[in-house]
Amino acid sequence: MVTIPSTGDEQLQKAKFDPGLTQQYGGPLRRAINNDGTFNVIRRGTSWRDFHPYLQLVSVSWATFFALLLAGYTALNVIFASVYYVLGPHALKGGMAGNQFLTAFYFSSQTLTTVGFGSIAPNSHAANLLAAFEALIGLLGFAVATGLLFGRVSRPSARIGFSERALIAPYQEGASLQFRVVNRRENSLIEPEARVLLMTVERNGPSVRRNYTALNLERPSVLFLPLTWTVVHPIDSESPLWNKTAEQLVEAEAELLILIKAWDETFSQTVHQRYSYRFDEIIWNARFTPAFTVGSNGDLVLDVGKVGDYAKV
Restricted to residues 221-280, the positions that interact with a second copy (CB under 8 A) are 221-227, 229, 259, 263, 265-272
Of the candidate spans 70-78, 233-241, 247-255, 280-288, the one that interacts with a second copy by CB under 8 A turns out to be: 70-78
Helix (H, G, I), strand (E, B) or coil at 119: coil
Identify the burial level of 175 via C-beta atoms within 10 angstroms of its C-beta, where 0-12 means exposed, 13-18 middle and 19 or more buried.
buried
Of the candidate spans 47-55, 166-174, 247-255, 276-284, the one that interacts with a second copy by CB under 8 A turns out to be: 47-55
- Least CB distance from residue 131 to a second copy, whole Å? 7
Which residues in 102-121 contact a second copy (CB under 8 A)?
A: 102, 105-106, 109-111, 113-119, 121
- Least CB distance from residue 68 to a second copy, whole Å? 12
- Our CB check for a second copy shows the closer of 128 and 248 to be 128
- Our CB check for a second copy shows the closer of 69 and 244 to be 69
Residue 52 binds a second copy (CB under 8 A):
yes
- Least CB distance from residue 246 to a second copy, whole Å? 23
| Alpha carbons 269 and 267: distance in angstroms, whole number | 5
Contact (CB, 8 A) for 256 and 165: no
| Alpha carbons 127 and 118: distance in angstroms, whole number | 14
105 Cβ neighbours under 8 A, 6+ residues apart: 77, 78, 81
Which residues in 278-297 contact a second copy (CB under 8 A)?
A: 290, 292-295, 297
168 Cβ neighbours under 8 A, 6+ residues apart: 175, 176, 177, 178, 235, 282, 283, 284, 285, 286
Which residues in 174-203 contact a second copy (CB under 8 A)?
A: 184-187, 190-193, 195, 197
| Alpha carbons 36 and 109: distance in angstroms, whole number | 41
- Our CB check for a second copy shows the closer of 63 and 223 to be 223
Residue 55 binds a second copy (CB under 8 A):
yes
Contact (CB, 8 A) for 181 and 228: yes
User: From the CA atom positions of the chain, what is the Rg in Å?
Assistant: 29
Residue 68 binds a second copy (CB under 8 A):
no
- Our CB check for a second copy shows the closer of 173 and 186 to be 186
Considering Cα of 55, then 58, then 62, then 65, what sign does the dihedral take? positive
- Least CB distance from residue 243 to a second copy, whole Å? 26
Largest CA distance in the chain: 92
**Number of residues located near a second copy, criterion CB under 8 A:** 133
Contact (CB, 8 A) for 307 and 227: no
- Our CB check for a second copy shows the closer of 39 and 284 to be 39
Helix (H, G, I), strand (E, B) or coil at 117: coil
Residue 166 binds a second copy (CB under 8 A):
no
Residue 76 binds a second copy (CB under 8 A):
no
7 Cβ neighbours under 8 A, 6+ residues apart: none
